[in-house]
Amino acid sequence: MFGVVVVGMGIAGSVRLKELLNPLKSSPSENLKLVGFVSRRDLGSQNGVKQISLEEALTKSEVNAAFICTENHNHEESIRRFLEAGKHVLVEYPVALSAQAANELNQLAEQKGKVLHVEHIELITEDYKTLKKAVDGKELVEGVLNFTGGPLNKERSGFPSFSGIARLTWLVDLFGELTVTSAVLEENPGKNYSKLTAHFATISKRQLTWIEERAPGMKREKKVNFTFTTGVLDHLPSSSRGSVGLFMQDQNLFAQKLLGQVSKEELAAEKKRILHCIDLAEKIKQYCEN
Ligand code: NAD
């Protein structure tokens, strides 16, 4: 059994806590045992689980792994501390808010012989799986992925290319490694409005555009417009709801990694994709700032 603490009791942390208490039957998650949770607020206990201090979580020998569910700006520090303390880490995306930090954290995990798992639930949604099937085998001519949503606090969530890493991950998983060709960020702080537009070239020199637009009242929505040599895909294909929750699927993958059930090749491919996406996020930020 692996003792686990959840750090950060927001939306994601609360779901994690419930999923850890109710592991899917006969799944790898049955090897995870919730020891407690860490919060900056004084919450006492949640669903019968006791609150412990960060120091206790870092030093208790029965804690083998931490689920980092805090806001993005805190990920780097938390991951570093838990890895240094010899604990495995699961972190909600993005792993960090700079490419340098992401690389350093991966190196630290390797040095310590610990798992650093970055959640990417956007790749296991039924919507995404259906889209992936629809794109599979087609040759891209050009494409746009457009995301809209409510405003985020840049201080806590990071530059939009990092907080929107899920969209970048979609594009890379669908079309392979990309090169950033240009990027701009339009902002109107008075209206809490921001619009990031990033252009990429695929390996076969096809153009892709990612637009991430946020403002109060904007509906959380993704739109695609992909032109292939064989036709146009201008809407996300409809999909049904999966039977196992996304966080539970992710937790199972983490448990499989702890149990040594994920192949070296799969781990290497995943790490390459994650670091490539973080690198793209960093380049987009540099384009916008210059
Ligand atoms: P949230 O704002 O609801 O929760 C963050 C929580 O972390 C807050 O309760 C905050 O008080 C706490 N926190 C911050 N710093 C802390 C610290 N030093 N110690 C202890 N607690 C601390 O945000 P959220 O939606 O739960 O998102 C958390 C993370 O999960 C983000 O990185 C986000 O990108 C990721 N994520 C969220 C979802 C989702 O569906 N909500 C999905 C995928 C990934």
What CATH number does the domain containing 237 carry? 3.30.360.10
Cβ of residue 246 lying under 6 Å from some atom of ligand 1: no
User: In terms of domains, do 109 and 131 share one?
Assistant: no
Domain containing residue 102: CATH number:
3.40.50.720
User: In terms of domains, do 34 and 176 share one?
Assistant: no
Cβ of residue 15 lying under 6 Å from some atom of ligand 1: no
Query: Domain containing 146: what range?
Result: 122-242+280-289
User: In terms of domains, do 285 and 169 share one?
Assistant: yes
Instruction: State yes or no: pLDDT of 140 exceeds 90.
Output: yes
How much is the pLDDT for 288? 98
For the segment 45-62, what is each residue's pLDDT rounded down to a tens digit? 989 999 999 999 999 999
28 upstream amide cis, omega within 30 of 0: no
How much is the pLDDT for 7? 98
User: In terms of domains, do 31 and 115 share one?
Assistant: yes
Cβ of residue 203 lying under 6 Å from some atom of ligand 1: no
User: In terms of domains, do 102 and 235 share one?
Assistant: no
Report DSSP letters for 239-252, one per residue.
Answer: -PPPSS-HHHHHHH
Token look-up 């990092």 returns 162
Instruction: State yes or no: pLDDT of 243 exceeds 90.
Output: no
Q: Which residues pair with 209 in a beta bridge?
A: 144, 199
Ligand 1: residue of 70, 80, 120 to mutate (most ligand atoms within 8 A of CB) is 70
For the segment 194-204, what is each residue's pLDDT rounded down to a tens digit? 999 999 999 99
Count of all residues that appear for the chain in the document = 290
Q: What percentage of the chain reaches a pLDDT higher than 90? A: 96
Which of 177-191, 228-242, 265-279 has the lowest average pLDDT? 228-242
Task: Quote the tokens at residue 56.
Answer: 């206790």
Protein residue whose Cα sits closest to atom 35 of ligand 1: 92
Number of domains the chain is built from? 2
CB 150 within 8 A of CB 217: yes
Mean pLDDT of the chain: 97
Cβ of residue 7 lying under 6 Å from some atom of ligand 1: yes
With respect to residue 271, please indicate whether it lies within any of the assigned structural domains. Answer: no
How much is the pLDDT for 2? 98
- Sheet containing 231-233: order of strands: 178-188, 193-202, 207-214, 140-149, 221-228, 231-233
pTM of the model: 0.96
What's the DSSP call for residue 58?
H
- Provide CB contacts within 8 A for 6, sequence distance 6+: 13, 16, 17, 20, 34, 37, 38, 66, 67, 69
Residue 199: its H or E element: strand 193-202
Ligand 1: residue of 69, 93, 161, 214 to mutate (most ligand atoms within 8 A of CB) is 69
How much is the pLDDT for 242? 79
pLDDT tier at 239, thresholds 50, 70, 90: confident
Instruction: Determine the distance separating the centroid of ligand 1 and the alpha carbon of 15, expressed in angstroms.
Output: 11
User: In terms of domains, do 156 and 107 share one?
Assistant: no
Average pLDDT, integer, range 8-25 = 97
Cβ of residue 43 lying under 6 Å from some atom of ligand 1: no
User: In terms of domains, do 115 and 132 share one?
Assistant: no
Cβ of residue 93 lying under 6 Å from some atom of ligand 1: yes
Instruction: Determine the distance separating the centroid of ligand 1 and the alpha carbon of 205, expressed in angstroms.
Output: 37
pLDDT tier at 224, thresholds 50, 70, 90: very high
Q: What percentage of the chain reaches a pLDDT higher than 70? A: 100
How much is the pLDDT for 240? 83
How much is the pLDDT for 237? 86
Protein residue whose Cα sits closest to atom 23 of ligand 1: 10
Residue 282: strand, helix, or coil = helix
User: In terms of domains, do 32 and 82 share one?
Assistant: yes
Protein residue whose Cα sits closest to atom 40 of ligand 1: 12
User: In terms of domains, do 151 and 186 share one?
Assistant: yes
* Whole-angstrom distance, CA of residue 33 vs CA of residue 35: 6
Average pLDDT, integer, range 213-242 = 94
